[in-house]
Chain A
Amino acid sequence: MESLKTINVLDESLRLAWLESSQESDSFFSDLDLNIILESGYSSSMTLEKKRLLLEALFSKLSSFSLGQLITNSIQLTSLSDKEVASQTNLPISVLEELKADSIFPNNIPVILFHNLLRLLGIPFKSVDQAAWKTFDIIKSRAFLSGIKFMNTEPAFRRKQNISQESLIKINKSADGRELFENEDSLKKYLNKLENLMNN
């Protein structure tokens, strides 16, 4: 019979306290913690095969464009202004700006209007497919990071640009029903619909 794993209640309580505190700006986690972790000698290490997989997976993320980058680059290749793009595709200019800043899930945009935009900019579906997932990850990680409290000086080291509190609130807002569409399944369905439209 397999023996039970015994856990000391106090140690487990301390571990939970540490984990929770590490997320707070005034945590008792200190620079010492990171030094200890980085300078400790360990007997285990990641296998070379797993390291290779890790770096390959990360490289594919690093080298791909987000939707915002893709749209920005494509607009630059045309002689059109944002206003003209917005007017020719019937997209509100504010939505186009949000798309360029990767601060809106693409599936929040009516698929026909998004299709108009891609057709105008000559962006093929394959590129959009990959970029949409990168944008999805960016927005998710932005929402995730907004829940972490950094050092006390946080506001001073954040740039003013596209990760304003306003946009974070928008991402996290749950009262407007957007959250119903802001998940993997919805994005998959949306991209399927878009692919059908683009192929017809």
Chain B
Amino acid sequence: MDYLEILDLVNRKDKKCLEILYTTYGSKLFSYAVEKWSLSEDDAWAVVYQTLDTLILKLSEYKFESKNHFENFIFKVFTNFLRQFYRSTRRQQSDILFVSMDQYIPTYDEYTKNELSVLEIEKKDFEEYYKSGKIKNPLLIELQKGLEKLDDIERSLLLLRAQNFSYAEIAEFLRIDNNQLKVRHHRAIKKLLKLLSNVKKQ
């Protein structure tokens, strides 16, 4: 259904808009929150409920110029709630062990291991974020800037892998050869870490 028709149904308080919003967006966002962000089903339900609730309350106050605008709005509302629940979930987890990257990925070469060692991001840095919602560690801030310097494929690859998408899924989405992806992923990590280590040396 066209987004304008959805908006019209919301404005008219037509019950059909709920089923359509759920089928088109809510059900997928629920599965995404559970599978890719490890939220409990109850939390994912709450994220979807709050997202759709905000949409039905607020959509009529906005004017959208295109489907992209409309979906961008939906996605931002969703990610804001996802962010809140993700932080809350992490705050409650007492069984987390943060593993530095060189130990976690043994296939890395020595060069990469050395590069990884500059990334001094510790458990407390994450805990601070889960608690306050603010990123304070300078390396985490630089990481965001570093991502902007990567090309689109490298950036998407890193961000999608971090969200537990498989190489096969990413290859399909990005329309690139799956065989090269693992290598490209490692190269993208190296590139990002190099950017970070340069910043750290300055």
Contact = CB atoms under 8 A, between A and B. Distances in A.
B65 interface: yes
Contact of B65 (A20, A29, A153): A153
A44 B95 contact: no
A57 B52 CA distance: 11
- Is the contact region of chain A dominated by helix, strand, or loop, or is it mixed? helix
A57 B34 CA distance: 21
A117 B86 CA distance: 43
Interface of B: 13, 15, 17-19, 22, 24-32, 34-35, 37, 41, 44-45, 48-49, 52-54, 56-58, 61-65, 68-69, 71-77, 79-80, 82-83, 86, 93, 95-101, 104-105, 116, 119, 121, 126, 129, 135, 139-140, 143-144, 147-148, 152, 155-156, 158-163, 165, 169, 173, 189
Interface of A: 2-23, 28-40, 42-47, 50-51, 54-55, 57-59, 61-63, 134, 137-138, 141-142, 144-145, 147-148, 150-151, 153, 156-159, 161-163
A46 B27 contact: yes
Given A5-B96, A17-B147, A22-B79, A42 B62 contact: no
Given A19-B86, A28-B147, A159 B61 contact: yes
Q: Most chain-A CB neighbours within 10 Å: which of B25, B45, B189?
A: B45
Contacts, number: 217
Given A12-B162, A32-B173, A145-B58, 16 more contacts: A5-B95, A6-B96, A10-B119, A18-B159, A21-B144, A22-B83, A23-B76, A28-B148, A30-B152, A31-B72, A35-B173, A51-B22, A61-B57, A147-B80, A157-B62, A158-B62
